[in-house]
């Protein structure tokens, strides 16, 4: 599976500049408990902090509950933002995980 990430970034001046990508939920069941749990576990592996935004709602990538409360159904476009030391490494990996077609695809990515 390939994911195209349109990053909206200027020049990197330091570790505190946020990196952003727009991600579309592809899972037919949306961002439900199982993928939310896996994304939170994946996000915890990085030192950077990350958030997902859906319109006026914001969720920490490390919180399964907050991710589920976004109520992101299939086709929902979310803004992914990561900030910190390993943000450049984490952004494409997290974006691909969030855009996974199914929980099974996401599980394969995490192995």
The whole-number pLDDT of residue 8 equals 52
The whole-number pLDDT of residue 108 equals 87
Q: What's the chain's average pLDDT? A: 89
DSSP character at residue 50: E
The whole-number pLDDT of residue 17 equals 87
Average pLDDT, integer, range 3-16: 52
CATH superfamily of 21-110: HPr-like (3.30.1340.10)
Closest CA to 83 of 17, 21, 22: 17
Q: Alpha-carbon distance 20 to 17, whole Å?
A: 10
pLDDT in tens, 33-87: 999 999 999 999 999 999 999 999 999 999 999 999 999 999 999 999 999 999 9
Residue 12 has pLDDT above 60, yes or no: no
Q: Alpha-carbon distance 61 to 43, whole Å?
A: 6
Q: Alpha-carbon distance 3 to 62, whole Å?
A: 22
Q: Alpha-carbon distance 68 to 30, whole Å?
A: 9
The sign of the dihedral angle between the CA atoms of 85, 88, 93, 99 is positive
Token code pair at residue 102? 């199914």
């Amino acid at each position: 599976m390939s994911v195209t990430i349109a990053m909206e970034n200027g020049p990197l001046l330091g570790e505190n500049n946020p990196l952003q990508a727009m991600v579309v939920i592809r899972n037919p069941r949306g961002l439900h408990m199982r993928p939310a749990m896996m994304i939170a576990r994946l996000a915890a592996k990085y030192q950077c902090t990350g958030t997902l935004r859906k319109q006026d709602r914001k969720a920490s990538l490390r919180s399964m509950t907050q991710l589920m409360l976004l109520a992101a159904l299939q086709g929902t476009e979310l803004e992914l933002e990561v900030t910190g030391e390993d943000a450049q490494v984490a952004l494409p990996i997290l974006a691909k995980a969030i855009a996974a077609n199914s929980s099974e695809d996401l599980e394969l990515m995490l192995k």
